Structure 1
């Protein structure tokens, strides 16, 4: 069996590691941690990974505010930028088709 070069192993390991600046949320309610949607009105703490440990970043009032912090909405384009981007193209997944899973028409 041949050994993997150290540089390749280090690069592979780095790809698996959490990146500094990654955010996560923790429920500040009583009792054990449960799914986020179970207690939507309970305050949350936003934690940031600094490369070694999770550090408290801020607290927010509820689940919706935590989602807004973790997944900010993209900045909308100006009409000029939208015009330069061109039309949206691609296959419509809801368009009628002839796939095997489709019910045959009578």
Structure 2
């Protein structure tokens, strides 16, 4: 096994790290953190990554304002949301099948 040079390892690690100045918005409200589409009128807290921890930056009235602060359009944000939480496509995962995890039929 060969050792990776330190400068190459450091560059690879730096590429994985979150960059200082990155912004994110979280929903303010009672209960657990929920997705943006669940309550688009709820106020949002804008956080900024300082390289070590998330720091509170400002609050905004709703999801649309949070998108403006983060530099996104609502259409891009909704497309991003749909890709991550969209329905399962293709074959129905609950349909009868012959997979190893299925019980044999009599």
State whether TM-score is above 0.5: yes
What's the CA shift string for 1:66-105, capped at 9, x where partnerless?
00100257xxxxxxxxxxxxxxxxxxxxxxxxxxxxxxxx
Matched residue, 2:57: 57
Q: TM-score, normalised by structure 2?
A: 0.66
Report the Cα distance in structure 2 between the residues aligned to 1:47 and 1:19, rounded to whole angstroms. 13
User: Which sections of structure 2, spanning at least 5 residues, go unmatched?
Assistant: 74-106
Distance 1:40 1:34 in 2: 10
- Structure 1, unmatched stretches of 5+, are 74-106
Alignment pair present for 1:44 and 2:54: no
Q: How many residue pairs end up in the alignment?
A: 73
Greater helix fraction, Structure 1 or Structure 2: 2
Spell out structure 1 runs of 4+ moving beyond 6 A.
none
